[in-house]
């Protein structure tokens, strides 16, 4: 290939977006400011948000080069299912505000890579539509409601599409104040004032796609609002019917009515992990909710070793928070996780690239995982903790 041909060759996705941080930077220029503030913001000083990313700098691996090596097999068995790797898109509400059909695009990407995808109760695509794409590889994240009949109907719908793995989020016991969202006037539909119109006008591709596909809605939940309410009133109603704190009795109720796997999402303490195990849960997600609930909370990376020591072997341990590189995933696994859920990484991707973004993000992370394992000389993911330089970190 001549030099001129190389210079004028079309840029591939890898050249345009070689990393998750590259997608993160591009996303800001593709979506309106109010949407970007929601996607990227935390709570309070946003110290927890920053630490979710920066804590990975404290974990290091020691490579081992002088050995025979066969590429590691990333295949993972978890919660009764087998996947190509220990990662998958996690549940995030309102992603349709970033790009129309975002949950469906993530589901298709996960299926293409033979990975699971987890749908939020407050997704902007329905259980039925995402289930048709993902099948049994769709997990469902439930926000518990005061009225348990709503929970039970959502689970019936999930069961009807072949769902097996249920995640119950427990780290939203009440409302919170997120400064970025308050300042930007975030709402659904977006507030209709000159600021919103200006922000949308500055992102014409986003605006045209949103107009073409319609204003995103919490489609899984609208049917539970009183009949005759307009969308704004219905959303206000739905925002006030959360169950609040979830105790052992409620967990045992879910164990009685759901015959698949149950994972409790949003735990950070050893005591909570033990309670979940005592209630018959099949797994937990160690998570600080992306730094969006309690700014002073520790990161998943910090708490994983203690939780692994307390309940490892009794249940599956999943984690999320701050992942930007494949090596971050391996660090979470080395510190005690069995599986890693991907949140903002997937949202940055769909914001930056549209429908093809999630597939590219998974490609990046899987390739980085393989490259890092090759550097370490690690052939078996179950052995990854043995490559830690600082094995006693956070213990």
Q: What is the pLDDT of residues 3-24, one digit of tens each?
A: 545 545 556 899 999 999 999 9
CA torsion angle for 358, 328, 321, 222 (degrees, to 10)? Answer: 20
* Average pLDDT along the chain: 92
Burial class (CB in 10 A: 0-12, 13-18, 19+), 149: exposed
C-alpha distance from residue 147 to each of 71, 154, 367 (Å): 50, 12, 44
d(CA 36, CA 31): 6
Greater model confidence, 145 or 225: 145
- Stretch 297-315: mean pLDDT, rounded? 97
d(CA 383, CA 369): 14
Residue linked to tokens 């691996």: 61
Q: What is the pLDDT of residues 242-283, one digit of tens each?
A: 778 899 999 999 999 999 999 999 999 999 999 999 999 999
C-alpha distance from residue 180 to each of 33, 144, 211 (Å): 10, 26, 25
Q: What is the pLDDT of residues 58-75, one digit of tens each?
A: 999 999 999 899 999 999
Which residues are 263's β-sheet partners?
Answer: 167, 283
| The two three-digit tokens of residue 105, written as one number | 């695009």
- The pLDDT score that the predictor gives to residue 4 is 47
d(CA 83, CA 117): 11
CB atoms within 10 A of CB 217: 18
289 is catalytic: yes
d(CA 274, CA 258): 20
Q: What is the DSSP letter of 19?
A: S
Residue linked to tokens 């925002």: 239
CA torsion angle for 391, 82, 116, 260 (degrees, to 10)? Answer: -100
Q: What is the pLDDT of residues 135-148, one digit of tens each?
A: 899 999 999 999 99
- The pLDDT score that the predictor gives to residue 234 is 67
- The pLDDT score that the predictor gives to residue 90 is 97
Q: With beta carbons less than 8 A apart as the criterion, state whether 32 and 195 touch.
A: no
Angle made by CA atoms 383, 81, 344, in degrees to the nearest 5: 75
pTM of the shown model: 0.94
Please, which pLDDT band fits residue 302 given cuts at 50, 70 and 90?
very high
Catalytically annotated residue among 36, 289, 360, 363: 289
Q: Which of 133, 149, 320 is nearest to 224 (CA)?
A: 149
C-alpha distance from residue 356 to each of 85, 106, 185, 318, 359 (Å): 20, 9, 29, 26, 6
d(CA 136, CA 165): 8
Q: What phi and psi values does residue 340 have, to the nearest 5 degrees?
A: -125, 125
Q: With beta carbons less than 8 A apart as the criterion, state whether 132 and 161 touch.
A: yes
| The two three-digit tokens of residue 305, written as one number | 């070793």
pLDDT of 330 > 80? The answer is: yes
pLDDT of 2 > 70? The answer is: no
340: number of CA atoms within 13 Å, CB side?
32
Q: What is the DSSP string of 170-238?
A: -S-SS----HHHHHHT--SSPP-SHHHHHHHHT-HHHHHHHHHH-----TTTGGGSPTT--HHHHHHHH
Which residues are 169's β-sheet partners?
Answer: 265
d(CA 34, CA 189): 12
- Stretch 218-223: mean pLDDT, rounded? 89
Please, which pLDDT band fits residue 227 given cuts at 50, 70 and 90?
confident
Q: Which of 22, 143, 133 is nearest to 91 (CA)?
A: 143
Report strand pairing: 283-286 vs 261-267: parallel
């Amino acid at each position: 290939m001549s030099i001129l041909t190389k210079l004028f060759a079309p840029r591939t996705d890898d050249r345009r977006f070689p990393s998750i941080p590259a997608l993160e930077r591009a996303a800001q220029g593709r979506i309106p400011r109010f949407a970007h503030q929601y996607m990227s913001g935390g709570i309070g000083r946003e110290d927890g948000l920053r630490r979710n990313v920066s804590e990975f700098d404290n974990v290091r691996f020691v490579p081992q080069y002088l050995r025979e090596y066969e590429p590691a097999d990333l295949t993972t068995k978890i919660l009764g299912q087998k996947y190509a790797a220990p990662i998958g898109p996690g549940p995030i509400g309102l992603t349709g505000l970033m790009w129309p059909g975002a949950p469906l695009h993530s589901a298709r990407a996960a299926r293409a890579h033979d990975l699971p995808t987890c749908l939020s109760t407050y997704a902007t695509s329905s259980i039925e539509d995402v289930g048709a794409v993902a099948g049994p590889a769709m997990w469902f994240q439930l926000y518990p409601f005061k009225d348990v009949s709503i929970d039970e109907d959502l689970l019936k719908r999930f069961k009807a599409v072949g769902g097996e793995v249920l995640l119950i989020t427990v780290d939203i016991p009440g409302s919170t104040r997120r400064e970025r969202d308050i300042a930007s006037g975030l709402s659904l539909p977006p507030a209709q004032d000159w600021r919103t119109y200006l922000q949308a006008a500055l992102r014409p591709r986003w605006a045209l796609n949103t107009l073409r596909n319609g204003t995103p809605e919490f489609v899984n939940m609208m049917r539970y609002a009183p009949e005759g309410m307009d969308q704004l009133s219905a959303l206000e109603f739905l925002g006030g019917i959360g169950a609040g704190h979830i105790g052992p009795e409620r967990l045992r109720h879910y164990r009685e009515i759901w015959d698949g796997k149950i994972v409790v999402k949003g735990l950070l303490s050893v005591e909570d992990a033990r309670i979940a195990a005592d209630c018959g849960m099949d797994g937990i997600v160690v998570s600080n909710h992306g730094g969006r609930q309690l700014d002073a909370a520790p990161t998943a990376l910090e708490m994983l070793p203690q939780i692994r020591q307390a309940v490892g072997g009794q249940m599956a341990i999943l984690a999320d928070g701050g992942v930007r590189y494949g090596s971050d995933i391996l660090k979470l696994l080395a510190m005690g996780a069995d599986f890693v859920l991907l949140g903002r990484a997937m949202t940055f991707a769909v914001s930056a690239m549209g429908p093809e973004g999630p597939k590219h993000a998974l490609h990046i992370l899987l390739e980085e995982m393989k490259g890092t394992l090759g550097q370490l000389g690690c052939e078996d993911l179950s052995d990854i903790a043995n490559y830690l330089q600082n094995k006693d970190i956070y213990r």
